[in-house]
Amino acid sequence: MTLSNSILSTAMALGLALPAGVIAASSPAAVPQTSAEAANIETARNLYAAIFAARDSALAARYLGPEYIQHAQDVADGKEGLARAIADIAAQTPQISYEIKHIIAEDNLVTLMSHVRPTPDSRGQMLFNIFRFDDGKIVEHWETVQDIPETSANGNGVF
């Protein structure tokens, strides 16, 4: 788990409300512009923490609506599909860590760009997630994932 995630998890465990839009000091965080968007961002962060840090499908389900439409190709549909994916993460990559790099919200959609490392010494993967919300709960998910390449045509990093 990265330092920023430790802080995030600790803050959540203490029930502290994190300032909306604050991710990590180095992130060009976008400030959410409505209270509903700020709440959606917080819920998306909480779902991420439930999946990748707590690896707790019951916790994750708290943030989901009555339906959860899954578009990620390697995850089965619905809440049960997500629960199986979380169980796989816990069983197969117990050292997995993540860092949310960017997060923006508009209307009922939230996008996250994040860095996930299956093991501490791996280069890891870059992910974009889009979550659709209905009445404050996540009801649909899209994703793109790429392994972070060893080399790049530019010197800027992928994040």
Partner 1 sequence: MPNPFVRFGLIAGLLTLAGAATASQPVSTVAATTVSRDADKAVVLAFYEAAFGRLDLNKARRYLDDGFIQHDPAVEDGVDGFARYHQRLSSTHPRYSYEIRRAISSGGLVTVHVLQRLNPWDRGDVQIHMYRVVDGALAEHWVVGNPIPATSLNANGLI
Q: Both tokens of residue 148? A: 């972070």
List 18, 24, 75, 90, residue binding partner 1 (CB under 8 A): 75
Sign of the four-CA dihedral 36, 12, 68, 111: positive
- Distance between CA 27 and CA 66 in Å, rounded? 33
Of the listed pieces 9-17, 57-65, 89-97, 109-117, which binds partner 1 according to CB under 8 A? 109-117
List 18, 54, 61, 81, residue binding partner 1 (CB under 8 A): 81
Of the listed pieces 6-14, 25-33, 52-60, 87-95, which binds partner 1 according to CB under 8 A? 25-33
Of the listed pieces 8-16, 21-29, 45-53, 59-67, which binds partner 1 according to CB under 8 A? 21-29
Q: Both tokens of residue 5? A: 């995630």
Does 7 help bind partner 1 (rule: CB under 8 A)?
Answer: no
Tell me the CA distances in angstroms from 51 to 35, 63, 100, 129, 154, one per residue in order. 24, 11, 13, 13, 32
Does 29 help bind partner 1 (rule: CB under 8 A)?
Answer: yes
* Number of chain positions touching partner 1 (CB under 8 A): 46
Sign of the four-CA dihedral 127, 94, 59, 87: positive
